[in-house]
Structure 1
Amino acid sequence: MKLTKTIVATVSTLLLVTSAFADEAYDIVKKSTSLPVPDTSTAMMMLYNIEKNGAIEEMPMIQHGRSRDGGLVDTVFEIQGPAKKKNTRVLQQERDKRADDRWIYMPDLKTTRRIPIGDRYKSFVGCEFTYNDMGVRHVDEDKHEMLDPNVTVTVPGGKTYTCWKIKSVPYKKSDIEYSYRIQYIDKESYLPAKIEYFEKKDNSKLLKTYTTEDWFWLTSKTGKKYAMRMKARIVTEKTGRQTLLEIKNPVMDGPMSAGYFTQQYLQSGKAK
């Protein structure tokens, strides 16, 4: 009888600990995905598509963003080059409790089309980031499990982070290009220092790796502080191809026309 009570007590304790870690993992990811965002933002973004042989394609773009409706974010990207991609524009609009809306303007066809949910795992304008990567995944779309509450991660470039290591498994896998993610969330900024994505067919095999190589606290025009990713990299393991993203000249909480976040802007490139 005593042994039975001991076993029951032990199992109960393990369940409580597991539940506590699950709650902690959820809360950490929730904070990571709902960090304060500026009312408006503008930045030059430099994307470098790097082939395995070292060849580099530069893809500059301008990004405009705004927050609305309790923190939901609209973002528009305008590609500045190379010539074959110039004037391509992408609009992303976050939605509450449903999939975000995304549109792309293709200058060669002079047309705007909505990007279907089933296509959002595809390459973002020819780089290693996907359309899904360019947005923020909602915390309730995944099941989160704490793997290690205190782990050190060093990313390319030498920056070292102290992180929570969390496994995030999508509830709905049909629209996602991976089976699950391992997230290393920085304890200072709550930004993802590193994310490992694992393949669908063989979930023991690494599909791609994302790293935040640099960030800092940015003070906006209104005096608010935001954790800003300044350099990030994603590597596709199978091909060795990678994209390096650098943010230049960010401006937060400045004046901005609402006209940027319309399909008219996608077509004309002019915000009224």
Structure 2
Amino acid sequence: MNIQKLALITFAIAICTGMAAVLSYGEEITGEEVMQRVDNRDDGDDLTQKIYQKLIDRRGGERERFIIAFRKDYGKDSKSISYFLQPANIRDTALLTYDYDGTARDDDQWLYLPALKKVRRISASDRGDYFMGTDFTFEDIKQTPELDDYNWTWLGTETVDGFDCWVVQGEPKTDDLKKNLGYAKTVNYVRKDNNMAIRIDYWDRKGQELKHFRIVEMQEVQGIWTALKMEMVNVQTGHSTVMVFSEQKYNSGISDRAFSERMLKRGYRGH
């Protein structure tokens, strides 16, 4: 066999091998499967943590807040409650969330406003409202989006902050969902090694670039990958929200009584 023919055969084999690799890699995982991994990743049976929150306006003005938060899983469902501890003008403001798996039942959320001594129930149509002046909506502050609300498309892979990530686009399945959620689409960058979405880009209902979410710092706490610092930047308003998480305690056996409307109104008393 002459050298030219051998080279052609070698080139053909290389091309075919490359095509097979691309095809198999493209079929390796779907967008929905990636997001299911995000939803199913180990996050402990319960979690207590403190949160430092900083709101920054377009002129650089800052507001600081301190929060304590609790979360407990009930199978695939979860319940969480967060209390504002400082500043004094919003102390005891609290949010209670019952996050149900799937779309057969709408999630339940209640916001307690101590100044009004009133509990506001957050309806499904309010999920796109912004929470307490932050750049996170009521939907954003849940652990993961409701997967059944979106059509998920695998876009490929990309390196983000030195980590190999799957890139997945989410589009609300209906116009009503688009309206309620406040987004035309999201693009999620999920680390392959720990199934955490470390970057999410959002587009508003009109399809305009809206905001960017980043996990700035994370580490393993009690063997569980945990976000230590994150930020959300709204490119339309120039406003941003930074959150720093500390004093995490996983699997401490939080009482079911912590997640009730009674506790919501009572405020944090060191339970």
Q: How does 1:250-269 map to 2 (within 5 A)?
A: 250-269=248-267
How far apart, CA to CA, are the structure 1 residues paired with 2:85 and 2:186?
A: 32
Retained in 2: the 8 A contact 1:161–1:193? Answer: no
1:146 to 139, 151, 154: 154
Gaps of 5+ in 2: 1-18
1:74 to 76, 79, 92: 79
Q: How does 1:109-120 map to 2 (within 5 A)?
A: 109-120=116-127
Retained in 1: the 8 A contact 2:179–2:205? Answer: no
2:54 to 26, 33, 48: 48
How far apart, CA to CA, are the structure 1 residues paired with 2:169 and 2:270?
A: 41
Q: CA deviation at 1:141?
A: 1.8
Q: Indicate the residue corresponding to 1:171 in structure 2.
A: 173
Structure number, greater radius of gyration = 2
Gaps of 5+ in 1: 1-12, 155-159, 220-224
Q: How does 1:179-194 map to 2 (within 5 A)?
A: 179-194=184-199
Identity within the alignment, %: 23
1:105 and 2:108 correspond: no
Q: CA deviation at 1:99?
A: 2.1
Q: How far does the alpha carbon of each residue in 1:52-80 deviate from its partner, in whole angstroms, 9 at most, with x for none?
A: 22111111100011111x13211100011
Q: TM-score, normalised by structure 1?
A: 0.84
* Between structures 1 and 2, the one with greater helix share: 2
Q: How does 1:221-260 map to 2 (within 5 A)?
A: 225-260=223-258
Q: How far does the alpha carbon of each residue in 1:180-219 deviate from its partner, in whole angstroms, 9 at most, with x for none?
A: 0111111111111111001211x2x310100011111111
1:39 to 42, 45, 56: 45
Retained in 1: the 8 A contact 2:101–2:146? Answer: no
Q: Indicate the residue corresponding to 2:218 in structure 1.
A: 215
Aligned length: 245
Q: CA deviation at 1:21?
A: 4.4
Q: CA deviation at 1:161?
A: 2.4
Query: Kindly tell me: are residues 95 and 147 of structure 1, through their superposed partners in 2, closer, same or farther at Cα, counting changes over 3 Å?
Result: same
Q: TM-score, normalised by structure 2?
A: 0.84
How far apart, CA to CA, are the structure 2 residues paired with 1:121 and 1:257?
A: 30
2:89 to 78, 81, 84: 84
* Paired residue secondary structure (2:37): helix
